Amino acid sequence: MTYRIRNVAIAIGLALVAMLLTLFYVTNYRRSVQHQQSTVQVYVAAHNINAGTTGADIAGSHGMKLVSVARKSVVPGAIADPSEVTNLILTQPLYAGEQVTLRRFADIREEGIVGQLKGPMRAVQVSGDANQLLNGTLKTGDHVDVVANLTVPPTGSSVAAGAADQHATRIVLRDLTVLQTNGQTTPTSTNQDSVILAVTDTQVERLFFVMKNADWMLELRPAVDAADSPERIDTLASVLAGGIK
């Protein structure tokens, strides 16, 4: 009798354990299903966005909007904060309504100079001597102006009279970004040096003209609160008369 009671007790205990395990599994499964059915907020593309667009531009132009989606529908790498892509560049197109995911972006620095160009911006390599290019001073990210001294040949009757060429100096381009320097740090070097400047597709025409037809140099702009004086042209007459009352 005692043996039978013991067997019954064991069977009841095993049944209770099985019931508890089943209850635990069902509870966890229900929680998992509820968790997957809950919604989370992610950003989706507000319109079609081309590859090569920076994350900062996408965020700044309202290219993303926040929506709620089922947790189980969230794409791996989907972002919930625009700041996650601010310093990145889009490497594949995004289409309207598509979740914005980190998998479509890369670090701007990995794209090199081309990753810093957009719209009408172009990159141009300019060569010159140490003084023209502020060798040893200029760094990537600086902003510069281009100062040129242009030759003005005589015209009309002045040609027949044997008049000499005149010269005019002015700032021909302002606030150009330095995309890259060659890292040379010897200000007194007399070797040819070069820098890469960011210009628009129309500024490059003026820059190329000056490089081929004038004496020129770069001037470094302030890093903070840079301002521009009124435009002016200096000639022999204006230089000689400058400051004389």
**Mean pLDDT across 27-47:** 73
The structural domain count of the chain equals 2
Tell me: do 135 and 186 sit in the same domain.
Answer: yes
Q: How far is CA 28 from the centre of its chain?
A: 46
- Tell whether 18 is covered by a domain: no
Contacts of 94 (CB under 8 A, 6+ apart): 45, 48, 49, 100, 104
Is 17 part of a structural domain of the chain? no
Show which of 84, 113, 142 is a domain's final residue: 113
Shared domain check, 131 and 109: no
CA angle at residue 227 from 243 to 242, to 5 degrees?
Answer: 10
| 125 and 237, same domain (yes or no) | yes
Say if residue 149's pLDDT is above 70.
Answer: yes
The range of the structural domain enclosing residue 141 comes to 119-223+232-241
pLDDT value for 186: 43
Domain shared by 171 and 194, yes or no: yes
Final residue before a domain boundary, out of 72, 91, 113:
113
Judge whether 28 lies within some domain: no
Q: What is the reported pTM?
A: 0.56
For 175, other C-beta atoms within 10 Å of its C-beta total 11
Structure-model confidence comparison of residues 16 and 120, the more confident one = 120
Burial class (CB in 10 A: 0-12, 13-18, 19+), 220: middle
Last residue of a domain, one of 65, 98, 113: 113
Average pLDDT, the chain: 82
